[in-house]
Amino acid sequence: MAQPQLEEEKATPRHPKKTNTTRRLQTLNRKGGSGKSTTSGSYAEELGRMGYRVLVADLDANATLTKGVGIRLGELKYSIYDILMSPRTLLETRDAIVQLKHLNFDILPGSENLAFAEPALLMARRQRVLQERLAEVDDEYDFVIIDTAGHESFLHTLGHVYADEVIVPTEADITNWETVVQTLQSVRKVVEDGLNPKMRVRAIIVTRYQQGTKFGEAMLRKLNAEYGDLLLPMVVMQTVRVREAQAFNQPITAYDPESQPAKAYRKLAEHIERG
């Protein structure tokens, strides 16, 4: 398998954006392993395939999404860490963006150093720094998607300040119910505290659904009963194809567009497109 071609030169638009707006999304769930990075990469790629210009910002020190599209962290000149920690006069956001030639979106790569950025930014109360740095480039994109880590941190706050729409992926397992409730409460708090009055949940998507499991069915029933209006009416099945896609540095929507998970993520992208 050939390595994906990466373009690390200054990102010039591959094509003009499709709309005259920029929509800002955050993929959020306080539970680790709930499918956030898989979901972010999949709907980013799908929106890109639909002709939109899409940027994903990887705001996770694990940099799962960045590594998952074939970027080797050690070979990167700059990452989101450098953008958050340097003034614009030294480094422009554009200089850290990687155009993925084998995929239909650009990425502001994650970094293990984000773990060090967090306490420094918290101490300096720089909760608007991501918003300021993305403002340099975001009018060139139809969609900017923030992928966040599973555990609560100040980095989440940076994403909350920036993003107006939240996508909540959750594993199809009733034992994860509380984390969905907490995630939705945290969005409500962002609005109530005035951190970002525009923020709202756009969709809940059930991932890693295993047919015939009582824990999966119970989760789906409860989500339908309590948050039916937000729930995407198609689940993402747990399948080995998703893992396989990651092994080949691609979201499932690029690797196997006719697979069930790709179709579910297409529904999510269409749902987002409708606004």
Ligand X SMILES: Nc1ncnc2c1ncn2[C@@H]1O[C@H](COP(=O)(O)OP(=O)(O)OP(=O)(O)O)[C@@H](O)[C@H]1O
Which residues would be at the binding site for ligand X (CB under 6 A)? 32-38, 60, 62, 64, 149-150, 207-208, 236, 238-239, 242-243, 246, 261
User: CA–CA distance from 259 to each of 46, 65, 106 (Å)?
Assistant: 13, 20, 24
Gap between the Cα atoms of 28 and 11, Å rounded? 27
What is the rounded distance in angstroms from the CA atom of residue 259 to the CA atom of residue 239?
A: 9
Residue with CB nearest ligand X?
A: 150
Q: What whole-number distance in Å separates Cα of residue 162 and Cα of residue 199?
A: 9
Tell me the residue length of the chain. Answer: 275
Q: Which is nearer to ligand X, 6 or 262 (CB)?
A: 262
Residue 264, classified by CB atoms within 10 Å of its CB into exposed (0-12), middle (13-18) or buried (19+), is: buried
Query: In the complex, what is the shortest distance from the CB of residue 64 to Mg ion, in angstroms, rounded to a whole number?
Result: 4
Give least dist CB 94 to ligand X, A. Answer: 26
Q: Toward Mg ion, which CB reaches closer, 22 or 61?
A: 61
When the beta carbons of 93 and 238 are compared against ligand X, the nearer one is 238
Q: How far is the CB of 125 from ligand X (least distance, A)?
A: 26
**Residue entry with tokens 């239909």:** 104
Residues with Cβ within 8 Å of 232's Cβ and at least 6 positions away in sequence, in order, are 203, 204, 205, 206, 264, 267, 268, 271
Instruction: Give kind and range of the element (H or E) at residue 271.
Output: helix 260-274
238's contact among ligand X, Mg ion, none, with CB below 5 to 8 A by partner kind, is ligand X
Task: List contacts with Mg ion (CB under 5 A).
Answer: 36-37, 64
Q: Report the 3 state secondary structure along 78-107.
A: CCHHHHHHCCCCCCCHHHHCEEECCCCCEE
Return the one option of Mg ion, ligand X, none that residue 243 interacts with (CB less than 5 to 8 A, by type).
ligand X
User: Least distance (Å) from ligand X to the CB of residue 10?
Assistant: 29
Are 61 and 149 a contacting pair, CB within 8 Å? yes
Q: 119 touches which of ligand X, Mg ion, none (CB within 5 to 8 A by kind)? A: none
| CB 159, min distance to ligand X, A | 13
- 37 or 93: CB nearest ligand X: 37
Q: What count of other Cβ atoms lies within 10 Å of the Cβ of residue 193?
A: 10
Return the one option of ligand X, Mg ion, none that residue 71 interacts with (CB less than 5 to 8 A, by type).
none
Minimum CB separation of residue 58 from ligand X in Å reads 10
Distance of CA 72 to the CA centre of its chain: 19
Query: Residue 24 binds what, of Mg ion, ligand X, none (CB under 5 to 8 Å, by partner type)?
Result: none
> Whole-number minimum distance, CB 113 to ligand X, in Å?
17
Q: Choose among Mg ion, ligand X, none what residue 239 binds, the Cβ cut-off being 5 to 8 Å by kind.
A: ligand X
30 binds, among Mg ion, ligand X, none (CB under 5 to 8 A by kind): none
